Amino acid sequence: MRDLQRVAGNRAVTALVQRGKLVRKGSGRPAGARQAVAGRKSPARVAAPVLSDSLLPAREEGYLGNFSRIRRWHVNPPQRGLIIQEVTRTFTVVYWQGDTWASISGNALDEYAKHKINATENRYWELWTVDPTGEVGDGGLDAFGLASVIPSAGLKARLRAGLKPRPEASSLQYTSCGSFVIRGRARFFPTPARLTPRALGFRRSGVSSSNGLPSRMDDPAAIPAAAPREAVTYTVTAHWTSAGEAESSWYSRVSGRRA
């Protein structure tokens, strides 16, 4: 009889468990209730903002190093913050001395060039602000470029730089040859509150090569943590020569790549 009662009791317990009505000791709720709570969906996590860029179709490729490439920044999903980009520029230039080619760089290269190329600004930082809607300041644009590396028409400036005057000021042949590499490495920094560029030591046109952007020559230290994403890197290289006789050979050969 006791065995029959035990069997009948076990069956009753099993039925209650299957119906989720058995109250666990000390829980105050059916056994199945804990599983229901544990199975609830957690709130959706907000995706981390991603910085990206797109290359505009407008471009320029002119004589002896001259070129232009323009990018547009995007932050998705939109979030307030800052885009900070480290820029490095490398000049490898030789100029014609009348009978041979010689290397030229830095201040001497600036003296040599007719147009402003800022040959001493080889590493600096630029900044763009981003509002909560994702709109990027300064038009959201980033321009890479270089003016033609041709000699200055001013004889005094050339002599002051220790350079020989050109026999034919109207000709680009036998002036300069070389390459120019500019590389940008940018990251997005979310900021919960509005943070001004000046608070981080950036000044508008602080660096001549920044084309009027908030910029600085030294590495910014007091910046917030970057978003957990890879940096956006873009490199443009321009090669040129004036040794060829054909005018078509004087044009810059330009290539760009994303790392």
Digit-coded pLDDT (tens) for 161-217 = 665 555 444 578 899 999 999 999 999 999 888 888 998 899 999 999 999 999 999
pLDDT at 222: 67
Q: Of the given ranges (140-149, 162-171, 216-225), which has the lowest mean pLDDT?
A: 162-171
* Model confidence, pTM: 0.77
Average pLDDT over residues 61-80: 96
> Does the pLDDT at position 31 exceed 70?
no
Each residue's pLDDT tens digit, 79-91: 999 999 999 999 9
Q: List the structure tokens of 157.
A: 């400036």
Give the distance between the most distant pair of CA atoms in the chain. 125
**Given this model, what pLDDT does residue 81 score?**
94
Using DSSP, state whether 197 is helix, strand or coil.
helix
Percent of the chain topping pLDDT 90: 59
Mark out the alpha helices in the chain (DSSP H runs): 2-18, 31-38, 106-112, 155-160
The pLDDT value recorded for residue 248 is: 86
SS3 140: helix
pLDDT at 63 over 80: yes
Query: Three-state SS for 19?
Result: coil
Higher local confidence (pLDDT), 258 or 27:
258
Q: What digits encode the pLDDT tens for the residues 93-119? A: 999 988 899 999 999 999 999 999 999
- What lies within 8 Å, CB to CB, of 52 at 6+ separation is 73, 74, 76, 232
- Predicted confidence at residue 172, as pLDDT, reads 86
What pLDDT does residue 9 have? 38
pLDDT at residue 194, rounded to an integer? 83
CA distance 54 to 74: 8
Nearest to 253 by CA among 181, 184, 185, 183: 181
The reported pLDDT for the residue numbered 164 is 56
pLDDT value at residue 193: 83
